[in-house]
Every structure is written in structure tokens, then in C-alpha cells.
Structure 1
Amino acid sequence: MDLLEKCRAYAWADEVRDAGLYPYYPAFQGAVEGGQAVLDGAEVCMLGSSNYRALSSNLQVVGAAQDAIALYGTSTTGSRLLNGNLDLHEELEADLANYLGFEAALLFSTGYTTNLGVVSCLAGRGDQVYLDEKAHASLIDGARLSAAAGAAVLQFRHNDPDDLARQLATAPTRSALVATEGVFSVEGDLAPVPELVAVCEEYGATLLVDDAHGVGAIGRGRGVIHHFGMGGRVPLMTLSFSTSLASQGGAVLADARTIDYLRHTSRPQIFSSGLSPADTAAAHASLREIRRRADRASDAVAAAEHLRAALDAIGFDVAGSDSPVVPVRFSDQVAVLTAQRVLVDHGIHTSALLPPACQGYQLRIACTAAHTPEVLDAVIGVFAALREDLLSNPRRVA
């Protein structure tokens, strides 16, 4: 069998397409505005996006990107190490570090390569990496590269500091990296950051919190670390610009010496082109908007709380969460794919997640600041009207 035989034999996507249930790679037309998008020529309520602060079409953000293209062009045309470094990059790094309470920051071309570049660069032969069992794929893949370089990679039970402590207590070395998400992108729950900090401090491990889905949405915009009052006690933080910062790219934040080490030794940093001028400027403009609104409670979290309570009341299996993410669980693959298709046909777009992306089958609903109570009440009305169609075995409601 040649290398590509597995590609020719792959049939799952065709089978789902033939059943009329394929939910992936939808081609939207135009920007998402006011929580609404256009799909196949029809307007849908966008409940699948991580645009938590609804800034992707904000006039200041769009204008900043346009101005950056006019001044700098469309691309950096090279790695930052050599010729692709801009004053825009350094200004954004300084503001991120200042706002989030770290000495320094370093931009990467995507959120994914941020985690890939940080974990694989810091952990190697003689080190240990401990991952929350539900950690993002980018953390897992970074750990795989560390394993290839000789690190031992282990998992601890999801959001279980006691399990982590048991493993660290018998670790052969104190040179250990513990990595978790701040807000878990699939489940929507928050990591127990204070307890993880205590365990890591007791055993001399270094904690990394990937707060891609927390910054901008949690902790008055400063993320999960500040939500729990742990500023200054988490050595490493990563984030993605593709959520609340309404752009593309990512960053790691740490002490200045660690950032300088990563700047000169992380392969995804050294061998990638610098973040484009437009993406950099859009992320920076979004950060300014988030800072400007820092005294306000998160509209996205309030919207999610409202939607979660309403869906639970009418019989849907809704996971608990303190974030903008609302997971709705289903019994099997056909049930969740059918529910996603029925909702799209009735003007609501959600994300269908299957193993291995999650444990079980669920619709991932993500609320944003654009989802007003009126919009959400309309969504709840659709779920209620279609309840029997959406749930093959509806849960009894008292």
C-alpha cells in the first residue's frame, strides 16, 4: 500500500455529505455583524464564533487594519529575526505585557504556533510535561515535539489539581511544565487556577495557562489569571488573537529573560514570517477597545448564562460553564449532526463537535457581546419549537 492509499480509502466525509448532514467548512458571505452572518444566501444567527467582544467588524478595528496596509503593505515578507520585524509588533507586545501584568510578550503568527513554539522550545531531554487531559491540540502537539526531544509527557485528570499533585510528588525531576487552558474551548469551563498555582509552587513546576478564550471575555478583559486574583503567580501565559482580539496571531507572556530565550530559540518563531501589519494593527486596536471597556461586566458571559439557563429549563443537556461557551450534549453522531442541520435550516448556526475534538457529541454554542436578550430569546424560541426534532430521546423536565 502506498502512502496515499489511506486518503483514497477515507470515506467518512463523503458518507456524511451523502446523508445531507455535513456541517464543516461552511462558506459565509461577508462579515459577521450584530451577531448575524450570511450562509448560502440566507441570514443566520452566528452562535459558532469565538468573536466574544464582537470586534471583528468594529469600525476602529477595521480602520486600524486598513491604515496599516496603506502604510506597511500586506506582508512582512520575512521572519522577524531577520527582516520581518515591525515597530507595530513591538508596540503591541509592550501593551499586552502591560495590560496583562507580565514583564514581556512575544508575538507568533497564529495562536496554534504560539503553544507549539513555547512548549516544544522549553521542554526537552530530562524535563517533564504535564497536560490537562482536555488540553487544546496545540498544547498536545507542542508536547509531542518535546517528547521527540526526550521529554516525558504525562496527563492529569481534567481540572484535577489533586491528581496533578500526586504525579508531581513522585516525579524524578522538578524541571516540569504544567499546561492547561484557562477557559476550555470545547467544554467552556474554567481551570482551577489558584489550586494549580499552589500545586506548582509546592513542587517547583512551571505553570502555563493558555487563555485564548479568557482574555477579553473573563476577568474584566484581562483573562482567567486575573479573574482568580493570580496575577504575578503564573509564570507563562499564552493567548490567541482570533477570539476577543478579532484578528489572527498569538502571543506568549512571561518574564523578560524567558521571552528573550524564546525569541532566539523557538523554531516556529524564527522560521515563520512576522505577523502581517493588518493583523497586528487589528489586534492592537481590539486590545485598546477591551481596555476602554474594562470596567464593564462581560456581555458575552451574561448572554451565555441566560441561554444556558433557558436551554436547561426546556430539557437540553447543557454543561455547566462560567464562560461565553455553552456546550449542548447529544447522544450520538447522527443526533448532533441532525440537530446542527435543523438549526441551520431555521436560521441558527452552531458548531457540531465529535470525537476526538471532544468527549462525546455536542453542539458548541459561543455567545458574544452582540447577542442581546432579544436575539437570544428568539434563539430560545427556535430551540423550544424544535425540541422534539432536535432530541431523539428528550430528557424529561420536572
Structure 2
Amino acid sequence: MDLLEKCRAYTRTDEARDDGLYPHYPPFQGPAGGGLAVLDGAEVCMLGSSDYRALGLNPQVIGAAQDAIALFGTSASGPRMLNGNMDLHEELEADLADFFGYEAALVFATGYMANLGVVSCLAGDGDEVYLDERAHASLVDGARLANVSGAAVRWFGHNDPDDLARLLATAPLRSVLVATDGVFSAEGDEAPVAELVAVCEEYGATLLVDDAHGVGLLGRGRGVIERAGMQGRVPLMTLTFSTALASQGGAVLADAKTIDFLRHTSRPQIFSAGLSPADTAAAHAALREIRRRSDHEPAALAAAEHLRRALGALGYDVAGGASPVIPVRFSDECGVLVAQRILLDHGVYTNAVLPPTCEDYQLRVACTDAHTPDVLEAAIGVFAVLRDDLLPHYRQAARAVLPRDRAPAAGGAGSHVRPNF
């Protein structure tokens, strides 16, 4: 069969487009990271951004990016190992290590590449990788590459340290990497870091926490590790700059010898161009601003708690915990696509997230520091109308053109991310 025949046979998105319910790749006109955005020429309440501290339009962050372009140009123009390393990179790494309490840091071109590069580089033949069953795709794909190199890959129950302990107790005596999200982006819940640390220390495993959605918010901006009181006891921490740090890129933090090893052996690091000057400087300026605000509770957390309670009171199936991420769950694909379309038609943008991207059908709602009370109340009012009036009528009409409810991915809990190793 022609290799590309699978592409020509792929009709799922065509059906959603034909029904006027395709929710992805919306072309925003202007910034989409604050409390408001412009889509199709209309202003919408942005409840889908990961710019949690609303620093994407901060004058100091923008100014730092502009200054970096004026001095260094637009690109690193090569891999950091050769000609693409800048003092901007090393200054950011030093401040990241200092702020988060590690000996050293290594900046990657994206947060995804940081996880890919760390897991695939550190785990190989004779090693084992244990992943939370809802770990981010970047951790999973890093484990896939580690598996190709000979590492065994196993899964433990979501946020279940007892299950991890059970698995480690019966495992052969091998070197073990345990990897988890700090705050899970699809579920909105927080990893039990202290309990995972205790299990890993008991069995001699190395813990990696990807805190993409915790840094800048929890633990005085230092994330879930600080919040759990586990500073100095989590050997590996990764993060992305594309959430609270309002930029692009990512980093890993560890002891100096581990960072030096990764710097010279991690393929996603040594075979990619260095992070651009503008992105590096913007992330550094955002880090300085988060450090400056570290003694103040982020407004995004209070906004999310208010919105979570309001949606729950309206009868929505909401999840999540002490994070800015609020999953609003639906029973089927038709329901979530219709709800996303109605909300957008009434000026509220949310992210429609479907299997296999996540475990269930949900609108992923996120709050930032830019969400003022009046903006939130207006959005809550639209959710109320959606529940009481629009949703039943619109769903009935939509089912005439989208009659089937597509079943969740087979395979049980966590199957949305588990590859066949």
C-alpha cells in the first residue's frame, strides 16, 4: 500500500469541518496570551492560554526580547555545542539554577525537547523507566527512545505512589528513572511529590519531575517541589518557558556533573540550533519578574478557584486542584465540540481536548493573572446560558449532522499516551 494512503483516508477532521465544529488551529489576530484575544475579527475572553502570569505582554519581557534581537540578531544560527551558544543562554541557566535550587541548568530549544533529551539520554540498555500513566507526551516519547536503546519501560497508576512502590519492590536490581508531571496539563491535578520522593529514595530510583505547569505559580514560583518541601531531594527537574515564563524553550535542572553529561551527549541538545536570542532574553526577563513577585499569591490561582467553584455550582463536571487548569469533562466528542463552538460564538474561547490527547472529552479551561473579576463573571454567564438553554437545542441539531459518538481510545486508564513498546 502507498505509504501516504493513510493520510488520504484520514477523514476525522474533514467531518468536523463540514459540521462547523472543528476546534483546532484557530488563527488569532494578535496576542492570545492575556485575558482577551481577537479571533475572526472579534474580541473573545481567552480561557485557553498557558501564559499564567500574563507576562507575554509585559513591557520588561518585550523590551528584553527586542534588545536581544538588536544585539544578537534573530537566530542562534547553529547548535550550541558549536557556534550557537550565547552568553544569554549561560546567564539564564545560572539564574534558573539559583532560583530553583540546583547546581546547574541546561536550556533546550523547546520544553518538549528537554524531556525528550533527558529521558532518552539518561536511560538505556539495562535501565528501567517508570512513568505515571498520564505523563506528558514528551516524557513518553523520551521513554520510547530509551526503549529503543534497551531500557525497559513500565507504567504506574496515576498519582499512585503505592503502585510505584509495589512495582519497584518486585523489579530486578537495575538503575531506575521515575518520571512524572508536576501539574498534569489535562487533569489539572498535582503530583504527590513528597510521597514519590519517599518511594524513590527507598528503592534507589532517580526521580524526574516535569513542572511545566507549576513553575511561576506554586511554591513561591518555584513549583511543586518547593510546595511539597522537597527542595534538594528531587534529582531532576524539567520545565518549559512557554507557560508562566511567557516565551519558548525549556530546561533541565540537576547537579553539575549530570548537566555536563547531558550537554555533551543529549542528541536533541547537540543536534538542534540554540534557543533564539529573543526567546532566551524573554524567558530570563520573565524569570526575574516571577522572582520579584515570589512573595505574592498569583492572581491566576484565585481566578481558577473562583471559576472552578462557579462551574461546579452550575452542574458542570469539573476536575483539577490547586492549579490554573480546569478540565470541564463531557461524555462524548459531539458534546465537547458543540460546547466549544457555542462558547466561542458567544465570545469565550476554550480548548477542546479529545482522546488520544487526553483520557476523556473535555474543555480545558485555564486562568491567568489577566483575568479580572468582570471578565470571569461574563464568562461564567455564558457557561450558564450554555447549560440552561443553548446546549440541548444545539446538540440535537448537531447530532443530525454528526450522528455518531466516537468511543474513547481502547486500552484502559492511561491508554491515551501509552505506546506499544
Q: Give your verdict on TM over 0.5.
A: yes
Matched, 1:20 2:35: no
- Rounded Cα–Cα distance in structure 2 between residues aligned with 1:307 and 1:325: 10
Q: How much has 1:174 moved relative to structure 2?
A: 3.7
- Rounded Cα–Cα distance in structure 2 between residues aligned with 1:213 and 1:158: 17
Letter of the aligned partner of 2:189 in structure 1? D
* Alpha-carbon displacement from aligned partner over 1:176-208 (angstroms, at most 9, x marks no partner): 000000000111100000000000000000000
**Secondary structure of 2:178 counterpart:** strand
Aligned to 2:384: 384
- Rounded Cα–Cα distance in structure 2 between residues aligned with 1:169 and 1:18: 53
- Rounded Cα–Cα distance in structure 2 between residues aligned with 1:390 and 1:325: 25
- Rounded Cα–Cα distance in structure 2 between residues aligned with 1:181 and 1:35: 26
- Rounded Cα–Cα distance in structure 2 between residues aligned with 1:174 and 1:197: 18
Q: Pick closer, same or farther for the CA change 1:291–1:390 going to 2, 3 Å.
A: farther
Aligned to 1:396: none
Letter of the aligned partner of 2:168 in structure 1? L
Contact 1:32 1:56 survives alignment (8 Å): no
Normalised TM-score (structure 1):
0.97
**Secondary structure of 2:77 counterpart:** coil
Letter of the aligned partner of 1:217 in structure 2? L
Q: How much has 1:33 moved relative to structure 2?
A: 6.5
* Alpha-carbon displacement from aligned partner over 1:124-174 (angstroms, at most 9, x marks no partner): 000000000000000000000000000000000000000000000011124
Contact 1:32 1:57 survives alignment (8 Å): no
Aligned to 2:290: 290
**Secondary structure of 1:386 counterpart:** helix
* Alpha-carbon displacement from aligned partner over 1:343-391 (angstroms, at most 9, x marks no partner): 0000000000111111110000010000122211111111112213565
Contact 1:212 1:240 survives alignment (8 Å): yes
Q: Pick closer, same or farther for the CA change 1:236–1:392 going to 2, 3 Å.
A: farther
- Rounded Cα–Cα distance in structure 2 between residues aligned with 1:140 and 1:320: 22
Q: Could you list the runs of 5+ residues in structure 2 that have no partner in the other structure?
A: 394-421
Aligned to 1:67: 67
- Rounded Cα–Cα distance in structure 2 between residues aligned with 1:384 and 1:25: 26
Normalised TM-score (structure 2):
0.92
**Secondary structure of 1:359 counterpart:** coil
Matched, 1:229 2:229: yes
- Rounded Cα–Cα distance in structure 1 between residues aligned with 2:160 and 2:327: 20
**Secondary structure of 1:179 counterpart:** strand
Q: How much has 1:320 moved relative to structure 2?
A: 3.5
Contact 1:339 1:389 survives alignment (8 Å): no
Aligned to 1:205: 205
Aligned to 1:365: 365
Letter of the aligned partner of 2:120 in structure 1? S
Alignment map for 1:112-261 (pairs within 5 Å): 112-261=112-261
Q: Pick closer, same or farther for the CA change 1:391–1:202 going to 2, 3 Å.
A: farther
Aligned to 2:414: none
- Higher mean alpha-carbon deviation, 301-310 vs 382-391, is at 382-391
**Secondary structure of 2:304 counterpart:** helix
- Rounded Cα–Cα distance in structure 1 between residues aligned with 2:344 and 2:48: 11
Q: Could you list the runs of 5+ residues in structure 1 that have no partner in the other structure?
A: 394-398
Letter of the aligned partner of 1:14 in structure 2? D
Alignment map for 1:97-116 (pairs within 5 Å): 97-116=97-116
Q: Pick closer, same or farther for the CA change 1:206–1:110 going to 2, 3 Å.
A: same
* Alpha-carbon displacement from aligned partner over 1:262-312 (angstroms, at most 9, x marks no partner): 000000000000000000000000000000101101211111000000000
4+ residue runs over 4 A deviation: 389-393
Percent identical: 76
The root-mean-square deviation of aligned C-alpha atoms, in Å, is 1.1
Letter of the aligned partner of 1:297 in structure 2? E
Contact 1:335 1:390 survives alignment (8 Å): no
Contact 2:34 2:49 survives alignment (8 Å): no
Matched, 1:90 2:93: no
